[in-house]
Amino acid sequence: MKSRSEVKAEKATTSTLSDEKKKVVQELSAQLRDELNPKPSPFKFESANAAREDKLRPDLAKIVETVFVNDVHETWKKLREALSIGEKRSDHGTLQRALDNAERYAYDAHRLFVTAKVERERWERENDVIFGAMWSEATADLQREKDSGIRSKQITDADIRARTATLHPDEFQAQETHRAKIKATVDSLENLAEQWNSRCRTLQTMLGKLRS
């Protein structure tokens, strides 16, 4: 039969081992928590890169602020409707006024195109966040199949795109349709700018013929 001192020693040892196990578990838990939820950097991008930021000179910045169109739809309507000269195409004064307006409209049409182009690039960057999550999920799904032996060939972008469409059919369709519409709109506005440039040349030719 164990003496009281021996029993007491065993309890102390068991307690010590238990405490050590708790400590190990706590350390592992803390390590796992840090891996899953990394601490944000104490430095912001703006402050960390402030010294390297290449700011525009003030006079150029003023142009950047004004070169873009504020009301895209109204500007587009005005430019589209102004393409028609009317019935007085042989009148010198009418053509002269049309040419004066056309040069200004050509500039506005280019501003409209540039505005749409920059907006499209902004949309693409923001949409990459949403599409990136779906793309990553599809990649992981294909990788699991490869690891388990279901598939043996190399995973390609086409495979990932097809799996993304399978996993998220509604979101994928909506995104791709919207992307196509935005691209078509930008292309259409580029064509409108080219039309106004062509109109300027046409009116100059017509005025030249009236003078001769």
Rounded CA-CA distance 165/105 in Å is 43
Residue 79 has pLDDT above 50, yes or no: yes
Of 18-27, 119-128, 129-138, 193-202, least confident by mean pLDDT is 18-27
Residue 30 has pLDDT above 70, yes or no: no
Residue 100 has pLDDT above 70, yes or no: yes
Q: Which amino acid does the sequence have at 167?
A: L
pLDDT tens-digit map of 153-183: 899 999 999 999 999 999 999 999 999 999 9
Residue 57 has pLDDT above 60, yes or no: yes
pLDDT band for position 10 (cuts 50, 70, 90): low
Task: Kindly write down the DSSP assignment for every residue of 12-65, as one continuous string.
Answer: HHHHHHHHHHHHHHHHHHHHHHHHHSPPPPSS-HHHHTTTT--PPPHHHHHHHH
Q: pTM for the whole thing?
A: 0.65
Rounded CA-CA distance 113/110 in Å is 5
Residue 202 has pLDDT above 70, yes or no: yes
pLDDT band for position 119 (cuts 50, 70, 90): very high
The reported pLDDT for the residue numbered 54 is 66
3-state SS, residue 101: helix
Residue 146 has pLDDT above 80, yes or no: yes
The reported pLDDT for the residue numbered 110 is 96
